[in-house]
Amino acid sequence: MLPATRIYPAYPHLLGLTELTRLAMAPALYLSIVHFTSPDRRGHPKDLLHLIPALLFLLYMLPFLLQTAEEKRAILHGHFPAQSAFSAVLGQFMFYAVKLQILGYWVASYLHLLRHQQNVPRFASSPDRIDLNWMKYFLLSLIFMVGLWLNELFFRLPFILMLTPWLFLVAVYGLSYFSLRQPEVFDFPEPEAAELDDLLQQPATAEKTAPPRLLPHQVKSLKEKLGQLMQREKLFLEANLGLPDLARHLELSSHELSYLLNHGFGQNFFQFINEYRVEEAKRLLLSDQHRHLNMLGVAYEAGFSSKTTFNTTFKKLVGQSPSQFARAHSTPPLKEASGAA
């Protein structure tokens, strides 16, 4: 907006200030995704290392920023001062460095988000609410917008240039909408969140080879205790049940409960909880008292938070969809829900 108005000629010292965020935007994107996907949200001094290129860019821009108002107005009118060969090469380097940095941080952001989505079943029983899938689509949209930007700089295809402002506008409002709708991913007290963060720093495969956190006789007794707890209190009916919540009921740490599930049951948290939910759904599907429920109602009653997760998990464990299971057991077909949760 600034170059298209009379603001720059009136306030020439604004010229160049908007450029200072260029090498900070990509690290800010990456650090925001790390913040979204980390249980322990405290900042770390090493995070500041990502801002070193932005600081170097500030030093590079400093001589220009210190120019007089008249010198900057002259630049606005196309009268650029003569550059040394070194300055010209450095300017070209900075021009391309920004593009390469954005692409590099986009890849890092996407990989970090994928890692989060792989970790969700280790601590959540209803991953569809907190898997940040909207952010995955945002990143795909963002790389599309980078393409629009590169078109502005290099290719100048007229049809795309005409749509570019509107596509950017839709992307900004879309991001705002989805980020406001996103529930808290790690809604746990700070000590539990810090412990969960430590657990998720380790790959899931490392848990099987890590030093034992429980002795064999403890695993045996805790398996019995956990089974009784699930049967008696039916904690799996709580849609937002998380690993720290269940650990609290057993008076264990998240590390210990994760170890118990891996070595005692051969399952992660998501698999363990949703196996109970599927059994509960089977009971509801065959119950005369619950014939008034449609499939979405059965899903909610069994502890699932969405019809999609219910159908996918049920079919994986039973080998049939819920409707097929009901028909196979001579139960009148239940009325299909019209939408997902």
The confidence score (pLDDT) of residue 184 equals 65
Note the pLDDT tens digit of each residue in 73-106: 888 777 776 666 777 777 778 778 888 899 999 9
The confidence score (pLDDT) of residue 183 equals 65
| The pLDDT of residue 317 is above 60 | yes
The confidence score (pLDDT) of residue 339 equals 47
Question: What's the pTM?
Answer: 0.76
- Yes or no: say if 55 and 21 are a contact pair by the CB < 8 Å rule: no
- Rounded to whole angstroms, how far apart are CA atoms 96 and 113? 26
| The pLDDT of residue 53 is above 50 | yes
- Yes or no: say if 247 and 257 are a contact pair by the CB < 8 Å rule: yes
| The pLDDT of residue 341 is above 60 | no
Q: Which is more confidently placed, 128 or 49?
A: 49
Tell me the domains of the chain and their CATH numbers: 1-116 (no CATH), 191-328 (1.10.10.60)
| The pLDDT of residue 130 is above 80 | no
| The pLDDT of residue 334 is above 60 | no
Q: Which is more confidently placed, 128 or 206?
A: 128
Q: Sorting pLDDT into bands at 50, 70 and 90, what band is 214?
A: confident
| Contacts of range 94-101, beta carbons closer than 8 Å, 24 or more positions apart | 94/57, 94/60, 97/23, 97/53, 98/22, 98/23, 99/150, 101/23, 101/26, 101/53
Question: Which backbone phi and psi does 81 adopt, to 5 degrees?
Answer: -70, 155
- Rounded to whole angstroms, how far apart are CA atoms 92 and 244? 52
Segment 128-154 mean pLDDT: 81
- 40-54, 93-107, 172-186, 282-296, range with the lowest pLDDT: 172-186
Mark 190-215 as b/e (b = at least 16 C-beta within 10 Å): eebbebbbebbeeeeeebeeeeebbe
Note the pLDDT tens digit of each residue in 267-297: 999 999 999 999 999 999 888 888 788 888 9
Segment 36-45 mean pLDDT: 78
Q: What is the residue-averaged pLDDT of the chain? A: 83
The confidence score (pLDDT) of residue 257 equals 92
The confidence score (pLDDT) of residue 208 equals 67
Q: Which is more confidently placed, 341 or 39?
A: 39
Residues 83/85/86/88 CA torsion (nearest 10 deg): 60
Q: Sorting pLDDT into bands at 50, 70 and 90, what band is 340?
A: very low
The confidence score (pLDDT) of residue 190 equals 73
- Residues above pLDDT 70, as percent of the chain: 89
| The pLDDT of residue 186 is above 60 | yes
| The pLDDT of residue 65 is above 80 | yes
| The pLDDT of residue 331 is above 50 | no
The confidence score (pLDDT) of residue 175 equals 72
